[in-house]
Structure 1
Amino acid sequence: MANPSIYNVPNALTTVRFALAIAVMVLIPMGEFWASLCVFLIAVSTDWMDGYWARKYGQVTKLGRIFDPFVDKIIICGTFIALVEVPDSPVKSWMATIVVGRELLVTSLRGIIEGAGGDFSARWLGKWKMVVQSAAAAAVLLSFVVEPLPSWLSITTLVLLWGAIFITLYSGAEYTLIAARLMQSDPQPPGERE
């Protein structure tokens, strides 16, 4: 059976999400927080569509398997980095560094393991990490546009932000331990794909 063409709907959807991610990173420094919030929410809420379509219609490609998680990382990492430079932002540079560092670490480990023929599939914790990070970024953007800022939104934003940092660190540690075990023994499937 022939490999599916890379010119398909799932890869087109991923390309659109990539463009949306770039738009978010442009809009935040411009102070267009309502627009950046809307674009960000569209980008993260449509994340499931390309994967669902690819699996349902047999359009999974090697490009898609690489491009889709790459775009996920651009959306989250780019947004956190852009939020750092906003005056009075609760997102600090060390927080963005943790988010970016975790993604670089896990991507590097996946490349090593799968390059050697092992299986370093993503786990459910990786999905929850993306959800909490997205919620935190959205809450921060929302806090920039709601005036006066209600105390419940301020507290919710901080809770989500710290939760995102915690789950980012925890999932990074989990993947590191999995990689260490796989490197010491025969590769075993660690979980479902993200």
Structure 2
Amino acid sequence: MAEKAAVSDRVLTVPNAISLARLLLVPVFAVLIATGEDGWAFLVLAVSGASDWLDGVLARRLGQVSKLGQMLDPAADRLFILVTLIGLAWRDVVPWWLLVAIVLRDLLLLGMLGVLARRGYGPLPVHLAGKAGTFALLYAFPLLLLAEWPAPVGTVALVLGWAFAWWGIALYWFAGVLYVVQAWHLLSADARGADVRAVP
């Protein structure tokens, strides 16, 4: 309850500025990965992953949790994950099935959010599993890119990168199932309430 009361309508906050900067880094990374500038692309990915953690910490510690931030942060996460996966798959750094697995989960949740919105519900609260899955994926990508470097750096990065990737995918889908179950309970309760109100 306290966390909900702390959410504000402020726009100009430090966490929002960080999230906006992350969004602006997306096309920068796309150009770098497409032109083979792997060193700079790795740096952008590392900065994005670290700033994703930083903006959440600052929002809570500075009391700057905002509605805009609650939209910007996951939007930046999703866009960065999507663009990064497309770039890495296009470069054959990761297989295309990894991109499909992530996109299918996000499409599922997008459809679910549409159904909830038509019933008057807003976005569901973020689960720890979903945030952990996102963190794991954002840490996996720079490691998988680093795996293109010669051994021993590339070998170690490959093992760690795929470890983070598998954990990320598992947590990402686990959180997706939790969101679907939560939405089902909301819609079922709504339907039961409508049935009760319909009884003369």
Q: Same fold (TM over 0.5)?
A: yes
Q: Which residue in the other structure is 1:124 paired with?
A: 128
Equivalenced residue count is 183
CA displacement at 1:128 relative to structure 2: 1.3
Q: Partner letter of residue 15 of structure 1? A: L
The reply on whether 1:175 has 2:193 as its aligned counterpart is no
Q: Which of these residues, 135, 160, 164, is aligned with residue 160 of structure 1?
A: 164
TM-score scaled to structure 2, two decimals? 0.77
* CA gap 1:118/1:110 in 2 versus in 1, 3 angstroms: same
Q: Which runs of 4+ in 1 moved over 6 A?
A: none
Determine what percentage of the aligned residue pairs are the same residue: 29
Task: Quote the Cα distance in structure 2 between the aligned partners of 1:4 and 1:118.
Answer: 16
Task: Quote the Cα distance in structure 2 between the aligned partners of 1:57 and 1:155.
Answer: 37
* CA gap 1:155/1:61 in 2 versus in 1, 3 angstroms: closer
Q: CA RMSD in A?
A: 2.7
Conserved? CA contact 2:144–2:157, under 8 Å: no
Conserved? CA contact 2:136–2:167, under 8 Å: yes
Q: Which runs of 5+ in 2 are unaligned?
A: 1-7, 191-200
* CA gap 1:52/1:173 in 2 versus in 1, 3 angstroms: same
Please list the CA deviations of residues 82-124 of structure 1 after superposition, one character each: whole Å capped at 9, or x if unmatched.
100004x2x2222112212222332443454366246720111
Higher relative contact order (CA 8 A, sep 6+): 1
Q: Which of these residues, 100, 103, 107, is aligned with residue 106 of structure 2?
A: 103
Q: Which residue in the other structure is 2:71 paired with?
A: 66
* CA gap 1:5/1:132 in 2 versus in 1, 3 angstroms: closer
Conserved? CA contact 1:21–1:40, under 8 Å: no
Query: Which moved further from structure 2: 164-173 or 91-100?
Result: 164-173
Q: Which residue in the other structure is 1:140 paired with?
A: 144
5 Å matches for 1:16-27? Answer: 16-27=21-32
Larger helix proportion, structure 1 or 2? 2
Task: Quote the Cα distance in structure 2 between the aligned partners of 1:84 and 1:78.
Answer: 10
Q: Which runs of 5+ in 1 are unaligned?
A: 187-194
CA displacement at 1:27 relative to structure 2: 1.0
Task: Quote the Cα distance in structure 2 between the aligned partners of 1:79 and 1:19.
Answer: 14
